[in-house]
Amino acid sequence: MTVELSLILLLLLSVALLTYLLYTRIKEEKKQEVILQNLSNHELTEFMNRNSLDGSVSAVARLFSDILKNTFRCEYIIFIRKKRGMLELNYYHGIKSFNRNDFRLEYSSGLKKILKENFFPRDISLL
């Protein structure tokens, strides 16, 4: 009887823990959604156009890095750019030692489809 009771107790604790984790994840996703909705598309587009025309890519990367760090709690950030049919590392944050060629990808139609799905951050291994 004590074995069944302890297993039931363990199951209840597991359910409570999973419920808590699910609740915190939903709460965090709603917070991220609100932050993204509050970003003014017009202001952001104007900021990007102004700085990209002036050649200040680092200012745009810094803005998006701050958004990614604060909204999505990203620890490692890379920005890639298209150059001659390849995607290459352009800007990074939080990465200490690495091989630059590890961030060089062929720009294929499959990769193009993945990148056009949405703009949300994703693990580099998914690319």
d(CA 13, CA 63): 42
Q: Is the pTM of this model over 0.85?
A: no
Residue 60: the pLDDT is: 73
Residue 10: the pLDDT is: 94
User: Nearest-CA neighbor of 124 among 53, 83, 85, 75?
Assistant: 75
pLDDT in tens, the chain (127 residues): 798 999 999 999 999 999 999 998 888 888 767 766 666 556 666 666 666 666 666 777 777 787 777 777 778 887 777 777 777 877 777 778 777 777 777 777 877 777 776 556 666 666 5
Residue 80: the pLDDT is: 78
CA neighbours closer than 13 Å in the CB half-sphere of residue 34: 6
Residue 100: the pLDDT is: 76
In sequence order, the 6+-apart residues with CB closer than 8 A to the CB of 79 are 61, 64, 89, 90, 91, 92
